[in-house]
Amino acid sequence: MNIYSRATNLFGKYVNVESKIFRKLKDNLKKAKIKTPVEAYGSLVLFVTVSAVIVSLLFLFFLSLLTVGINLSAIVMNIVVAIFVGVICGAFTYYYPSFIISEKKGKIENSLAFVSIYMSTLTKSGFQPQNIFKMLSKFNDYPAAASEARKINHEVNKLGMDLRTSLEKAIARSPSPDWTEFLSGIKNSIETGGNLDKYLEEKSKGYTKGYKRKLESFGKTLTLLMNLYITVIIVGTIFFIIVSSLMGAVGGIPVGTIKLFHYITVFGGLPLVTAILITLVKSASPWSE
């Protein structure tokens, strides 16, 4: 029995697929190409949430036993922290398909300048539109765009679908507004007999300028995040430890409680914030391909 089956057996009856929250999850699973029924994935979200609360509670009680002992304040704090951890883990599981969509969106948009130049070059070389997508599907330097092109190529050359219909389906499942606009322009050029070569050339120039602006913006963002990390996170953690130690010395707060806060901050909070920062930098990077 895999984890989805176990989660469905335990929590499947609590998943209402008609509710707004799970309808949105169903759409995200489809766009993220996660081939798991929404009932099973929704059950997994609940399973992860409850499991995280239980595991965190056991760990925190064990940590309290080694440091401050078991008292009312420690019990209350442990319960609050465990619930918080459970909510965070559950939310991460729920939004994981959205993260995949966002990552794919970023990869496609970061590659559009190069993809449009490549497609423009193929058009000038005399390739037909359906063959352009066939060639793009083999353009593995940018796998996100190649994956979308591979789907179009499969529908046209393997399933016999006409290119216009395939482009409509690609537009409907597109994770990126820019990619949607790009495909819509190609589709309109094909339908109206417009100059596809001219369209791709103009779009490649626009995407190239946008990519240059994105590089400049990323440099500024990276500088800001690094300054924020050093001044707020690192210095802030040291400042918190010093101030809380002084408060414990003059304010009558038990030393064990102060130590517990220090352990949670250093071994929990700091690594978590660092991981979040790394994720933000990676997601904002124009080189995410």
Helix axes 235-251, 255-264, angle to 10 degrees: 170
What per-residue string of b and e applies to 87-126 under the rule 16 or more CB within 10 Å gives b?
Answer: eebbeebbebbeebbebbbbbbbbbbbbbbbbbbebbeee
- Gyration radius of the chain's alpha carbons: 26
Tokens found for residue 250: 């003059």
pLDDT band of residue 166 (cuts 50, 70, 90) is very high
pLDDT of residue 14 exceeding 60, the answer is yes
pLDDT of residue 231 exceeding 90, the answer is no
pLDDT band of residue 1 (cuts 50, 70, 90) is low
% pLDDT > 70, the chain: 96
pLDDT band of residue 223 (cuts 50, 70, 90) is confident
Q: Is 228 exposed, middle or buried (0-12, 13-18, 19+ CB in 10 A)?
A: exposed
pLDDT of residue 56: 92
pLDDT band of residue 89 (cuts 50, 70, 90) is very high
pLDDT of residue 156 exceeding 80, the answer is yes
Average pLDDT, the chain: 86
Rounded to the nearest angstrom, the gap between the alpha carbon of residue 75 and the centroid of all alpha carbons in its chain is 34
> Which DSSP symbol is given to 267?
I
Tell me the C-alpha distance between 266 and 237, whole Å.
8
pLDDT of residue 48 exceeding 60, the answer is yes
115-129 per-position pLDDT tens digit: 999 999 999 998 998
Rounded to the nearest angstrom, the gap between the alpha carbon of residue 18 and the centroid of all alpha carbons in its chain is 25
Tell me the C-alpha distance between 46 and 25, whole Å.
13
71-88 per-position pLDDT tens digit: 787 788 889 999 999 999
pLDDT of residue 184: 94
pLDDT of residue 265: 82
Mean pLDDT to the nearest integer, 131-154: 90
186-221 per-position pLDDT tens digit: 999 988 888 899 999 999 999 999 989 888 888 888
pLDDT band of residue 54 (cuts 50, 70, 90) is very high
pLDDT of residue 99: 87
Task: Extract the runs of DSSP E, i.e. beta strands, from the chain.
Answer: none
- Annotated domain spans of the chain: 3-105, 127-194, 213-284
Rounded to the nearest angstrom, the gap between the alpha carbon of residue 202 and the centroid of all alpha carbons in its chain is 31
